[in-house]
Amino acid sequence: MRILALVLAISAVASGALAAAGAASDWRDVDPDNLVLIDTKYGETVLELYPAFAPSAAARFKALVRAHFYDGQSFYRVIDGFVAQGGIGEGTAATGGAKANDKRLKNWPPLKAEFDRPIGDDVVFTKVDNADLFAPVIGHANGFPVGQDPKEGKEWIIHCPGTLAFARDNDPDTASTEFYIVIGQAPRRLDRNLTAFGRVLAGLAYIQKLYRGNRDIDNGVIADVAKRDRIVSSRIASDLPAAKRPHYQVMNTESAAFAKWKNDRINPAPGFYIRQPPPILDICLASVPVRVAPK
């Protein structure tokens, strides 16, 4: 009994078969200086940063990782279907109120918000030709889901499952050290309201295993510190010895292979579907394929 076989067969074409057959130019090597590895007891999660959209945030995150700021800290606010928030947990109900004078924050002053950026030639945008509920225009850049408002001349990283962003207080310019990873249905209302600067390439399933808080109590902060899952380590791939450095590739969203991948999802082959689905690409369902670079 082939169950949901075609649904997966289509995915296999995207990330499996193409992984084997694709020409080199169909894939982009991830810059090891933008490749972040976060370890928990469940396994290693791999993220790519995208400095073009949030240069200060990406630089801050790398500096925090390199300073071992997160090592030994935790995911202290984890809300099923929403976000896993990591860092030192300062100023939360569970840790005893605001700690603006926390010594650990001394070297990490609040950052200016980078909620969007001017549309510019340094980012190559490939449009998705269907409507979206939240952005006037959607597409991909560098493998990331991106929204655009041509009238305003702005573009931004969309909040999809796996999006990495800095948390903040009510004031826009208050992100400092605390970050979150989206773990549920895309919370698109956060688009252009938080500074998104990366996405998970592999190992989101490990983040899904994190111990959860209760969203109705302390905004999801896990009061029992012992229950919070620890960030065992965080590293930038380029800091690892060459022999231990992982090499990831993301499908080149400017390539013909990607155009075919999109079309295969918008217009699935007949067989499994009894009713042809509407010809729509949900930009947050169709995560751009990633692979470990072939030897």
Q: Which of residues 65-104 bind its own copies (CB under 8 A)?
A: 77, 79-83, 85, 90-92, 98-100
Tokens standing for 178? 């605390």
The DSSP secondary structure of 207-243, one letter per residue, reads HHTSPP--TTSGGGB-S-GGGSEE--EEEEGGGS-GG
Angle (CA) 291-53-92 rounded to 5° is 95
Residues 6+ apart with CB under 8 A from 176: 105, 108, 109, 110, 111, 166
* Neighbouring C-beta atoms of residue 275, cutoff 10 Å: 5
Strand partners, 27: 251
**Counting contacts by CB under 8 A, is residue 131 touching its own copies?**
yes
Stretch that binds its own copies, among 7-15, 33-41, 60-68, 231-239 (CB under 8 A): 7-15
Distance (Å, rounded) from C-alpha 252 to C-alpha 141? 9
Number of residues that bind its own copies (CB under 8 A): 80
**Counting contacts by CB under 8 A, is residue 52 touching its own copies?**
no
The 250-279 site mask, x for binding its own copies (CB under 8 A), equals: ------------------x--xxxxx-xx-
Residues 140-179 touching its own copies, rule: CB under 8 A, are 160-161, 167-170, 172, 174, 176, 178
Q: Is 131 exposed, middle or buried (0-12, 13-18, 19+ CB in 10 A)?
A: exposed
Kindly tell me which residue out of 103, 106, 151, 189 binds its own copies, with binding defined by CB under 8 A.
Answer: 189
Q: Are 31 and 201 in contact (CB under 8 A)?
A: no
Q: Which is nearer to its own copies, 70 or 236 (CB)?
A: 70
**Counting contacts by CB under 8 A, is residue 193 touching its own copies?**
yes
**Counting contacts by CB under 8 A, is residue 2 touching its own copies?**
yes
Q: Is 73 exposed, middle or buried (0-12, 13-18, 19+ CB in 10 A)?
A: buried
**Counting contacts by CB under 8 A, is residue 23 touching its own copies?**
no
Q: Which is nearer to its own copies, 175 or 236 (CB)?
A: 175
**Counting contacts by CB under 8 A, is residue 132 touching its own copies?**
yes
**Counting contacts by CB under 8 A, is residue 223 touching its own copies?**
no
Q: Which is nearer to its own copies, 18 or 236 (CB)?
A: 18
